[in-house]
């Protein structure tokens, strides 16, 4: 009996417990343990029912994803499930917390399911680019019907215990002690002589015609844009109409196909890269590992603009008491309105109850007195992107805030090191760069300076975990990781393509077809073209960039065409709508700017647009790596997939580069270097890795030992 599975007898009930922290993943040793336990129970004549449950907060997070890249050890989860299903005595699964993927498949192979009321049950495989491969596409339709099963597997989002009961996925929902309730349930089966109830023997209810499949795909179109796994899911669920043994054979083939797909390799890369970027231990010295971050209950935000208000909401959502400060009472009023309307729409969408929304609104208090923040456990400054103004704010805060408290700035482009110099305790200062909308965007770029102390860094990681954000650490440099790559690579090249003859609509459409949520010109109009212009003004105080460098966006800013907020930018926006309308005046302006620079305009196809924008992103990404601004390529992929809308199913720019092959990437960059000049010079790191026929992934692995 392996230590990850134990077997006990409680009267006539055999109690099988999975204990594989942190998430009870169904690893090879768990599968071996389950089969051993069932065999033991079958040898024991007094055992009349079996109960499977888990230790810890959750039933199981599914198959062990870390095992996917190795040959699968026998027994497979499917074989374990066949064993359970064929058991001559009833087998009950007792679910607490979460039952996901293979964890839910294991429970569906049991004859009965009982769950705690707070549990959630789901099939998130599609978020990893795979289809359920342990009977999920065959047993789920038999339990809840083909249409509901398709919806659950395409969304990947868990359902609540009550919803699962209503759909027929579980037999009972309990309020109190799950183990006791499950034992009562199992004993009831014994007393009532209720035997096994193999799910595989059930028939699938409800038809699934093309219209319903089309409707289900439409419902998940945004999340599944550019993806293919959904086609395999549909094929597998259609097979659930066949006899079980035929359907499960088809599922196995399709699951194997999905497992080796590029889409799944990319999504699994992002899954683990997000967990790696959240590990402070990876980045820091011994003493940082010891640093125990202080408790955080009260937070303060300075600046009640859109970002400040969004950050305040994120902090309140994490259960903190928040003080938001601004000198301008009108700004505080507007902020209040933003807070109330944000929560009102969350209630309207059923994401929050009215009570929870009201509690969170009350957690956010506003003040005009900057000194009132002295009691806060952390302060985040989010005032206007201006060096002098931010320095003034930070020095005032520094004078009222006890020296051990974290002082963060939400600057997106200014030097955090220079800002920290305005304080007497630069060791407690760092950047906390939130992304629009601050309460919903997953990414938090944490910017450390050479002075930032390990304690301050670990507190920032603690805050990120509290806010359920994905933290990525950047060294302090212009634009940090994301904005540097966006400005010096991706956006810069998009502008160059406009000067050479492409239109904003063509460039945006090409990159949206590639998989970006929104193209560069539309993003610029959404954020405000002036934001980029101001960032460049700051940049040019310290660094230079060979021209043309954003001549179009800066001219639009000069003309007050700032984007959505002024009704025109790269596009026109009629009467406050968000729909981007092509603007012939912008096209003529671009033609004029191009001819002033002797740039001849020509037809440009979408392939060239995508290649140039993506390769420049990769090239600058490699420079960010070799300059030590990002700790590893995986971090860059996390930044771009969780903060800048780079398609997750391509794994992020650096993973995508590895997929393209670095020799090919280098060859193409050299071509553009020859054609377009200095700013296309290949990053040395790409030259080195290509020469060694290596990859960014291998570079990351070796960086652990560097």
Q: Which is nearer to ligand T1G, 275 or 592 (CB)?
A: 275
Question: Which helix H or strand E contains 16, and what residues bound it?
Answer: strand 13-18
**Shortest Å distance, C-beta 174 to ligand T1G:** 22
**Shortest Å distance, C-beta 594 to ligand T1G:** 48
Instruction: Write out the catalytic residue numbers.
Output: 105, 125
| Beta bridge partner(s), residue 434 | 444
Q: Which is nearer to ligand T1G, 277 or 506 (CB)?
A: 277
Q: Which is nearer to ligand T1G, 275 or 348 (CB)?
A: 275
**Shortest Å distance, C-beta 56 to ligand T1G:** 11
**Shortest Å distance, C-beta 129 to ligand T1G:** 10
| Beta bridge partner(s), residue 324 | 301, 366
**Shortest Å distance, C-beta 60 to ligand T1G:** 8
**Shortest Å distance, C-beta 539 to ligand T1G:** 36
Q: Which is nearer to ligand T1G, 98 or 615 (CB)?
A: 98
Helix axes 653-660, 696-705, angle to 10 degrees: 120
CA distance 207 to 146: 7
Q: Which is nearer to ligand T1G, 281 or 544 (CB)?
A: 281
Inter-residue contact 391 to 383 (CB < 8 Å)? no
**Shortest Å distance, C-beta 436 to ligand T1G:** 24
Indicate if the alpha-carbon torsion angle 166, 172, 176, 177 is positive or negative: negative
Which residues contact ligand T1G (rule: CB under 6 A)?
22-23, 25, 61-66, 77, 98, 100-102, 105, 124-125, 128, 130, 132-134, 136, 275
CA distance 261 to 128: 10
**Shortest Å distance, C-beta 123 to ligand T1G:** 7
CA distance 9 to 25: 24
Interacting residues of 31 by C-beta distance below 8 A, sequence separation 6+: 73, 75, 76, 77, 79, 80
Interacting residues of 145 by C-beta distance below 8 A, sequence separation 6+: 167, 204, 205, 206
Inter-residue contact 23 to 4 (CB < 8 Å)? no
Strands 159-160 and 120-122: antiparallel
Which of 207, 27, 208 lies closest to 102 in space, CA to CA? Answer: 27
Inter-residue contact 37 to 5 (CB < 8 Å)? yes
Neighbours of 417 (CB within 10 A): 19
Q: Which is nearer to ligand T1G, 64 or 317 (CB)?
A: 64
Inter-residue contact 26 to 103 (CB < 8 Å)? yes
For residue 534, the number of C-alpha atoms closer than 13 Å in the C-beta half-sphere is: 15
Reading the block at residue 542, the tokens are 């310290």
Q: What is the DSSP string of 372-417?
A: GGGG-SEEEE---S-HHHHHHHHHHHHHHS-TTSEEEE--SSS-HH
Q: Phi and psi at residue 8, in whole multiples of 5°? A: -135, 160
Q: Which is nearer to ligand T1G, 28 or 451 (CB)?
A: 28
565 secondary structure, DSSP code: G
Q: Does the bond joining 75 to the residue before it have cis omega, within 30 degrees of 0?
A: yes
Residue with tokens 């399709």: 254
Residue with tokens 């550019």: 226
**Shortest Å distance, C-beta 261 to ligand T1G:** 13
**Shortest Å distance, C-beta 262 to ligand T1G:** 17
Q: Which is nearer to ligand T1G, 18 or 511 (CB)?
A: 18
Which of 443, 500, 521, 512 lies closest to 675 in space, CA to CA? Answer: 500
Return the biggest CA–CA distance within the chain: 92
Q: Which is nearer to ligand T1G, 66 or 389 (CB)?
A: 66
Neighbours of 226 (CB within 10 A): 14
Q: Phi and psi at residue 108, in whole multiples of 5°? A: -70, -20
Q: Which is nearer to ligand T1G, 61 or 614 (CB)?
A: 61
Residue with tokens 């199981």: 60
Q: Which is nearer to ligand T1G, 125 or 455 (CB)?
A: 125
**Shortest Å distance, C-beta 42 to ligand T1G:** 25
């Amino acid at each position: 009996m392996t230590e990850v599975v134990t077997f006990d007898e409680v009267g006539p009930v055999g109690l099988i417990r999975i204990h594989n922290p942190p998430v009870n993943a169904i690893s090879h040793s768990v599968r071996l343990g389950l089969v051993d336990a069932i065999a033991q129970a079958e040898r024991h004549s007094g055992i009349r029912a079996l109960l499977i449950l888990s230790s810890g907060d959750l039933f199981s997070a599914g198959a062990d994803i870390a095992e996917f890249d190795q040959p699968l050890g026998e027994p497979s989860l499917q074989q374990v499930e066949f064993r359970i299903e064929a058991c001559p005595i009833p087998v009950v699964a007792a679910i607490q917390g979460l039952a996901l993927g293979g964890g839910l498949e294991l429970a569906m192979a049991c004859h009965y399911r009982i769950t705690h009321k707070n549990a959630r049950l789901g099939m998130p495989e599609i978020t990893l680019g795979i289809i359920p491969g342990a009977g999920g596409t065959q047993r789920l339709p038999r339990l809840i019907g083909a249409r509901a099963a398709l919806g659950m597997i395409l969304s990947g989002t868990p359902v609540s215990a009550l919803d699962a009961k209503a759909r027929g996925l579980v037999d009972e929902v309990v309020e109190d002690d799950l183990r006791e309730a499950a034992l009562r349930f199992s004993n009831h089966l014994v007393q009532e002589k209720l035997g096994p109830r193999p799910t595989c023997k059930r028939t699938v209810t409800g038809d699934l015609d093309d219209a319903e499949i089309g409707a289900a795909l439409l419902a998940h179109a945004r999340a599944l844009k550019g993806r293919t796994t959904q086609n395999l899911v549909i094929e597998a669920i259609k097979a659930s109409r066949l006899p079980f043994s035929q359907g499960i054979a088809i599922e196995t083939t399709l699951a194997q196909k999905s497992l080796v797909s590029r889409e799944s390799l990319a999504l699994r890369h992002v899954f683990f890269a997000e967990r790696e970027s959240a590990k402070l231990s990876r980045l820091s010295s011994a003493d940082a590992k010891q640093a125990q971050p202080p408790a955080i209950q009260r937070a303060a935000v300075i600046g009640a603009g859109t970002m400040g208000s969004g950050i305040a909401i994120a902090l309140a959502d994490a259960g903190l008491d928040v003080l938001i400060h601004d000198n301008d009472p009108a700004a505080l009023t507007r902020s209040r309105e933003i807070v109330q309307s944000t929560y009102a729409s969350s209630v309207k969408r059923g994401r929050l109850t009215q009570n929870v929304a009201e509690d969170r609104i009350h957690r956010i208090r506003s003040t005009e007195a900057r000194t009132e923040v002295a009691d806060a456990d952390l302060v985040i400054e989010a005032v206007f992107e201006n060096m002098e103004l931010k320095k003034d704010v930070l020095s005032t805060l520094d004078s009222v805030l006890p020296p051990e408290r974290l002082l963060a700035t939400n600057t997106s482009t200014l030097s955090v090191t220079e800002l920290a110099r305005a304080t007497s305790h630069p060791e407690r200062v760092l950047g906390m760069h939130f992304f629009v909308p601050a309460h919903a965007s997953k990414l938090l770029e944490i910017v450390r300076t050479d002075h930032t102390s390990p304690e301050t860094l670990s507190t920032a990681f603690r805050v990120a975990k509290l806010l359920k954000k994905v933290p990525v650490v950047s060294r302090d440099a212009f634009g940090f990781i994301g904005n540097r790559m966006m400005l010096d690579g991706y956006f810069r090249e998009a502008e160059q393509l406009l000067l050479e003859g492409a239109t904003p609509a063509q460039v945006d459409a090409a990159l949206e077809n590639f998989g970006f949520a929104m193209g560069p010109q539309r993003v610029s109009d959404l954020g405000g073209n002036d934001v980029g212009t101001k960032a460049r003004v700051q940049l040019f105080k310290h660094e230079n960039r060979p021209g043309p460098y954003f001549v179009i966006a800066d001219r639009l800013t000069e003309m007050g065409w700032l984007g959505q907020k002024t009704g025109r930018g790269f596009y026109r926006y009629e009467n406050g709508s968000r729909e981007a309308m092509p603007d012939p005046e912008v096209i003529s302006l671009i033609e004029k700017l191009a001819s002033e620079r002797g740039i001849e305009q020509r037809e440009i196809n979408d392939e060239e647009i995508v290649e140039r924008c993506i390769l420049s992103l990769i090239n600058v990404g490699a420079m960010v790596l070799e300059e030590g601004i990002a700790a590893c390529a995986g971090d860059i992929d996390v930044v771009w997939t969780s903060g800048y809308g780079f398609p997750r199913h391509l794994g992020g720019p650096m993973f995508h580069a590895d997929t393209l092959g670095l020799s090919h990437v280098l060859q193409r960059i050299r071509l553009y270097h020859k054609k377009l000049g200095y700013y296309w010079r290949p990053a040395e790191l790409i030259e080195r890795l290509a020469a060694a026929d290596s990859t960014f992934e291998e570079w990351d692995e070796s960086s652990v030992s560097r």
